Amino acid sequence: MSVIEQIREMSLHEKLLTMEALWEDLAGSEENVETPEWHMDILDHRERLITEGKAHFIDWEQAKREIWQETR
């Protein structure tokens, strides 16, 4: 039986526990994960916009309100 088939047979509770275990394992080995070049390009671009004053940070609660309003 494949891993995907095993996952499909799990209960929601078992899936959540498995996800938590996987996340914990991955988080403990982040030095082994390479950041893709495209991701670094996006981060560099955003940092440049902030430095140039063309972008800014907003409070998370404000961001959620704005996203909610845009989707209405």
Q: What is the tens place of the pLDDT at every residue in 11-46? A: 999 999 999 999 998 888 777 778 899 999 999 999
Same structural domain for residues 8 and 21?
Answer: yes
What is the span of the domain harbouring residue 59? Answer: 35-72
Residue pLDDT, tens place only, 57-69: 999 999 999 999 9
Verify that 61 and 40 share a domain, yes or no: yes
Q: How many domains does the chain have?
A: 2
Cβ 22 vs Cβ 14: under 8 Å: no
Q: Are residues 19 and 4 in the same domain?
A: yes
* 43 and 15, same domain (yes or no): no
Give the chain's length.
72
27 and 40 inside one domain: no
Looking at the fold, whether 41 and 65 belong to one and the same domain comes out as yes
Which tokens go with 16?
């959540």
